[in-house]
Amino acid sequence: MLKASPGNRYELAFDDFELEESDYCNGDYVEIRQGNSSGPLIGDRRLCGKGTDSLPSLDTAFSGDVWIKFRTDEANVAKGFMLHFKLASNVVLSGETGQISSPGMTG
């Protein structure tokens, strides 16, 4: 969960993305939701597969909380993902920049 002080904004960007491909992303996937685990999906879908070109745009600055979930079925191995977040305007997180990555991700 990324939490921002009310009225503050931050940006998200995938630098690398390679997860197991599956129909409807039922194997390994990342979900990004506005607010909490039942909030609307950002990008309107779960994220899986290979390459950042196939991912929905995260070009907008987000306000409020963003909930991020990584799930694996441990059936196949892929490289993983790297997701960065940065301040867009006066956001109070634990620092000015950050990184979220899956275990074993090199970069």
Q: Cite the beta strand spans of the chain per DSSP E.
A: 9-18, 29-34, 62-63, 66-71, 80-89, 97-101
Reduce the DSSP state of residue 43 to 3 states and report it: coil
Q: pLDDT at position 45, please?
A: 87
pLDDT attached to residue 39: 93
**pLDDT for residue 11 is more than 70:** yes
Measured between alpha carbons, how far apart are the two ends of the chain, in Å? 23
C-alpha torsion sign, points 47, 49, 50, 54: negative
> Residues 38-93: pLDDT tens digits?
999 988 889 999 887 777 677 667 777 889 999 999 888 889 999 888 777 654 55
pLDDT given at position 61:
72
pLDDT of residue 28: 93
- pLDDT surpassing 90 at residue 4: no
Report which of 41, 59, 49, 42 is spatially closest to residue 16, judged by C-alpha positions.
Answer: 49
More confident residue, 100 or 53: 53
Amino acid at 17: F
pTM of the predicted structure, to 2 decimals? 0.74
For residues 59 and 17, the model is more confident at 17
Helix (H, G, I), strand (E, B) or coil at 41: strand
